Amino acid sequence: MQLEKSVVTVYRLTEIPKDLKYTRTHEWIKVTGSNAKIGITDYAQGELHEIVYVEIPEVGREVSKGGEFAAVESVKARSEIISPVSGKVVNANLSLVEGDEPAKPELINEDPYGKGWIAEIEISSQDELSDLLSAEEYLKFIESKK
């Protein structure tokens, strides 16, 4: 019996975990019950290069699927982060921004699917999840962009 790998690897060793869903604007989403953690993909952070600043959404803010809810700035560009689902922000990754501790926006480059998450949203409609891409579909999507 062969075990299925939990990560798909592509060009430039980009990681695409199979347990997440993806958007065509390079966000990932991990659904747990009625909540979803959201961040940008390894592919996106690689294209942006060194991330130097992050705008996170305010807890309690209502967000709409397809609407901007956060932003990242790199030495190369500023990119809006698009919400893959509608709902209410219930948590934001304060490690990415200046607060009691110095900001660590580089966590998105170092660990985009772990410590580099951006926000957690209480999903208002689970039906919106059906539009998201699987790991295999996202892989095909980014390969088609080359």
77: domain CATH number is 2.40.50.100
Asked if the structure places residue 4 within a domain, the reply is no
Q: Calculate ∠ Cα 94-99-105, nearest 5°.
A: 55
Structural domain boundaries enclosing 104: 10-124+133-144
> Is the model's pTM score more than 0.85?
yes
The strand pairing partners of 10, in sequence order, are: 14
The pLDDT tens digits for 78-127 are 999 999 999 999 999 999 998 878 899 999 999 999 999 999 999 999 99
Asked if the structure places residue 85 within a domain, the reply is yes
The pLDDT-based confidence of 13 (bands split at 50, 70, 90) is low
Asked if the structure places residue 46 within a domain, the reply is yes
Cα torsion 44, 45, 50, 56: sign: positive
Asked if the structure places residue 38 within a domain, the reply is yes
Q: Are 69 and 57 in contact (CB under 8 A)?
A: yes
Asked if the structure places residue 74 within a domain, the reply is yes
